[in-house]
A = this chain, B = another copy of it.
Amino acid sequence: MTDVLAVPVEDHLALSVAVLTRLGVPADAARAQADLLLEGDLRGHASHGLRRLDMLAQRLRSGAARATAEPTLTWTTDSVLTVDGDGGLGPPTARLAVAELLGRVGRTGVAVAAVRNANHLGMLAPYVEEMAAAGVVGIALTTSEALVHPWGGTRPLVGTNPVAVAVPVPGGEPVVLDMATGQVSRGKVLDHAARGLPLAPGDAVDAAGVPTTDAAAAVDGAISPFGGPKGYALGLVIEVLVATLTRTALGEDVRGTLDPSDPSTKGDVLIALDPTAFGAGGAEVAEYLAVLRSATPAPGHDRVLVPGDRARATRAANLAGGVPVAQGTWARAREIADDLTEGDR
């Protein structure tokens, strides 16, 4: 596509940092947020990339996101950390939590952080990858706005509730899962509706709860859970588990990642498990993954991948060739930065 730029990494980061610091965000926190926007674009998930900067700026202006938030991190037991984000940006808050977990889990073997009152974390993979890079199994669960219909229902009542897991592999790259429990993203539904493109069967239902491939009908309907009733059950359990441990909102009360002014009422749970606490002598994971990656592909498939392989390859290619950013997204971010330079704060 001709309207996608290849932006140098430094420029991508610098533009996000400029906007955020001009809105009063301290440099460290701005960089943490900028890193997550970069990771979204690097991995080809524009919906988690620089495109979000506009909404973040609006939320900082409205006060729904607090630029100078001071998160409170409290170890309520030796291995349970509660985090109140003070309404601040998600990435700096979650990075603090991950650092605390990593400083603790070597002794306790398991440590859990329950985060509330923080804004959108962005892609979850980078947090669990940070844990895996330290040799620790990482799990991240988040609630989000109700966009998915319950199995057998018509209305969106369940979040897209993503889950990320990274398992370190001695002598190899980690296995990394990062997925929403909805079949498609809201962004894809809106994009296809705007462009008159159909959705795939099973992606969504219309306002009456009838499965549809008409993206415009799906806009007024709901995203379907991935994998039918099992995916619904998984997404719902994430919703209830996260809300229970973080004491945050559920269903339609989850707000604050898709709008400019509602406080963020979702929650995040981060779990760290140190394999060394579970005994010596590892499983033969690297050998198993080699068997998978060399398995005969089925007709219509090029190869068998291990979760994390595709994102890793995409990220490496974009690191080398430039970060893909839609021209309109880049122009809008520049515009926001320029407006702020002129003192419109």
Contact = CB atoms under 8 A, between A and B. Distances in A.
Interface of A: 76-80, 82, 107-112, 114, 137, 149-155, 157, 163, 165, 167-169, 175, 177, 179, 205, 208-210, 226-228, 230-234, 236-237, 239-241, 243-251, 253, 271, 273, 275, 277-279, 281-285, 287-289, 291-292, 295-299, 301-307
B152 A297 contact: yes
A82 B278 contact: yes
A297 to B, nearest CB: 5
A78 to B, nearest CB: 6
Residue with the greatest number of chain B CB neighbours at <10 A, chosen from A236, A249, A271, A301: A236
A278 B247 contact: yes
Given A78-B79, A303-B152, A288 B251 contact: yes
A284 B250 contact: yes
Contact of A234 (B152, B177, B205, B291): B177
A299 B77 contact: no
Contacts of A285: 240, 243-244, 250
A169 B232 CA distance: 18
Nearest to A287: B250
SS class of chain A's interface: helix, strand, loop or mixed? mixed
A294 to B, nearest CB: 10
Given A230-B231, A234-B234, A246-B278, 6 more contacts: A77-B110, A167-B240, A177-B237, A237-B307, A240-B285, A249-B283
Contacts of A241: 137, 165, 167
Contacts of A299: 208-210
A273 B241 CA distance: 10
A298 to B, nearest CB: 3
A64 B171 CA distance: 33
A80 B278 contact: yes
Given A296-B155, A306-B236, A79 B79 contact: yes
Nearest to A116: B279
B278 A114 contact: yes
A109 B80 contact: yes
Given A250-B283, A284-B250, A301 B245 contact: no
Given A241-B165, A244-B283, A278-B114, A205 B76 contact: no
A99 to B, nearest CB: 18
